[in-house]
Amino acid sequence: MQEYKMPLREQNSNKGTFGKVLNFAGSRNYIGAAYLSTVSILKAGGGFAALASEKDIIRSVSTLLPEAVYLSREEGLKQINDFSVILIGCGLGLNRASKNLFKKIITKLNDTQVPVIVDADGLNILSGINITLPQNTIITPHPLEAARLLGVNLKDVLNDLEGSAGKLSEKYGCTAVLKTHRTIICAKDKLFINQHGNSALAKAGSGDVLAGIIAGLLAQTVNKNPNLFEIAKLGVYLHSRTGEIASEELSEYSVLASDLPRYLHKAIIEFNAD
């Protein structure tokens, strides 16, 4: 199991030691996605999380999460070079402004080493345009998003999950996290199938939590030549194990995505004890 490890926590440290994540997330109908992805960055150990979003989203999320920093989308785009990891797509929306923002962010990062995680609406935007992703990119589609990205039917993905993960990784030159009952992580010739998780994770918002966890873990290793494949494996494992732990108390029926950040520490403690 432990081919990978939690990032080390240096005691002589500050928030910058553990990375700065800029999260482009949220829109009028998806306020929760902005909160869930941002809080998960910090709960996974990221030192600094900034949410770049719309005014109404910021007003709502900031009351729940005073630990984050809040920027307009325009401010986030201007300050993007000050951050060590970029997360884009959680509840971002699919209007023209969101699509233009996505294109600008990807174009701006294309000649950099900055790691990028693309999730949710970011993937839906990506499926409709022709653009090269930055070399250090993780994408986190569920099967329907994967079908859109590959230009195939959903049934084609479901009938060949491992092959589809490989095709995603090859097509986009990235680490692909194909979210299923047994999530598959693929990067070039490497493939890993996660064996944990349960139906509690089949709830709206669960994917936003996963994206935030991966971003928070990645932020802590960005100055240490991070292995995106291993970070993705760790993020998926912690997310799935958190769902199992939360279910022990709440049942698989009653776990909400907002419960997952509150139980994440138990999965981390258990993992570090192994």
Write out pLDDT tens, residues 184-206. 999 998 999 999 999 999 999 99
Instruction: Give the pLDDT band of residue 274 (cuts 50, 70, 90).
Output: confident
The rounded distance, in Å, linking the Cα atoms of 209 and 154 is 24
The rounded distance, in Å, linking the Cα atoms of 168 and 176 is 6
Is pLDDT of 109 > 90? yes
Instruction: Give the pLDDT band of residue 273 (cuts 50, 70, 90).
Output: confident
Which of 238, 263, 255 is CA-nearest to residue 7? 238
The rounded distance, in Å, linking the Cα atoms of 264 and 213 is 9
Query: pLDDT exceeding 90 applies to what percent of the chain?
Result: 91
The rounded distance, in Å, linking the Cα atoms of 237 and 264 is 11
Inter-axis angle of helices 206-219 and 260-273, nearest 10: 50
- Tell me the pLDDT of the chain averaged across its residues: 96
Condensed to tens digits (0 to 9), the pLDDT of residues 16-30 reads 889 999 999 999 999
The rounded distance, in Å, linking the Cα atoms of 12 and 35 is 30
The rounded distance, in Å, linking the Cα atoms of 201 and 259 is 11
Structure-block tokens of residue 161? 């999950």
Instruction: Give the pLDDT band of residue 3 (cuts 50, 70, 90).
Output: low
Overall average pLDDT of the 95-118 stretch: 96
Overall average pLDDT of the 106-134 stretch: 97
Looking at the domain that runs over 15-273, which CATH code has it been given? 3.40.1190.20
The structure's pTM equals 0.97
The H or E element containing residue 193 is strand 190-193
Overall average pLDDT of the 159-183 stretch: 97
Overall average pLDDT of the 128-151 stretch: 97
Which residues, 6+ apart, have CB-to-CB distance to 232 below 8 Å?
Answer: 138, 175, 177, 185, 187, 214
Per the CB < 8 A criterion, the answer to whether 255 and 165 are in contact is no
Condensed to tens digits (0 to 9), the pLDDT of residues 82-94 reads 999 999 999 999 9
Overall average pLDDT of the 212-222 stretch: 95
Burial of 225 (C-beta count, 10 Å sphere; 0-12/13-18/19+): exposed
Condensed to tens digits (0 to 9), the pLDDT of residues 56-106 reads 999 999 999 999 999 999 999 999 999 999 999 999 999 999 999 999 999
Structure-block tokens of residue 130? 């022709």
Burial 116-150 (b: 16+ CB within 10 A, else e): bbbbbbbbbbbeeeeeebbbbbbbbbbbebbbbbb
Structure-block tokens of residue 46? 């990221």
Overall average pLDDT of the 142-163 stretch: 98
Instruction: Give the pLDDT band of residue 223 (cuts 50, 70, 90).
Output: confident
pLDDT score, position 2: 47
Helix locations, 16-160, DSSP H: 31-43, 55-64, 73-78, 96-109, 121-126, 143-150, 154-159
pLDDT score, position 1: 42
Q: 3-state DSSP call for residue 176?
A: strand
What's the Cα-to-Cα distance from 90 to each of 3, 15, 107, 111, rounded to whole Å? 29, 24, 19, 24
pLDDT score, position 5: 82
Instruction: Give the pLDDT band of residue 8 (cuts 50, 70, 90).
Output: confident
The domain ranges of the chain are 15-273
Per the CB < 8 A criterion, the answer to whether 197 and 244 are in contact is yes
